[in-house]
């Protein structure tokens, strides 16, 4: 069973926003690089955003304008906030983590991440 658990996926209408959460185990938020990925039916897994243990962010080109990765202030949660969703955003969304204390950078290459959540389904449809 994965230590990292996503939640928040659901059916939304085109144009609506949605925020996904990834629960990080224990009191270790500052030691993980965390990233969000998604995989649509028939497509390869796609990196969207990442947050380094030193809290630097990076985004893929498709995600830059509409997605924001952030961390909760008082809870062990990493968020992916998405705006103006469209049917092409329909996918299973995953958070992934790699133990990397004091890391100034992060990557959106899947092979760099050791731990994966089970995924949460986002469906955008009218």
pLDDT, tens digit (0-9, with 9 covering 90-100), for 42-56: 999 999 999 999 999
CA distance 106 to 95: 13
CB atoms within 10 A of CB 42: 5
pLDDT, tens digit (0-9, with 9 covering 90-100), for 3-49: 899 999 999 999 999 999 999 987 777 899 999 999 999 999 999 99
């Amino acid at each position: 069973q994965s230590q990292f658990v996503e939640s928040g996926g659901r059916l939304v209408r085109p144009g609506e926003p949605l925020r996904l959460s990834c629960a990080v185990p224990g009191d270790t938020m500052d030691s993980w690089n965390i990233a969000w990925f998604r995989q649509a039916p028939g497509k390869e897994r796609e990196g969207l955003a990442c947050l380094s243990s030193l809290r630097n962010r990076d985004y893929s080109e498709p995600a830059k304008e509409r997605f924001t990765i952030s961390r909760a202030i008082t809870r062990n949660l990493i968020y992916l906030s998405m705006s103006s969703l469209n049917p092409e955003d329909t996918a299973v969304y995953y958070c992934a983590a790699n133990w990397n204390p004091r890391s100034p950078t992060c990557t959106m290459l899947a092979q760099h991440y050791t731990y994966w959540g089970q995924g949460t389904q986002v469906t955008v449809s009218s």
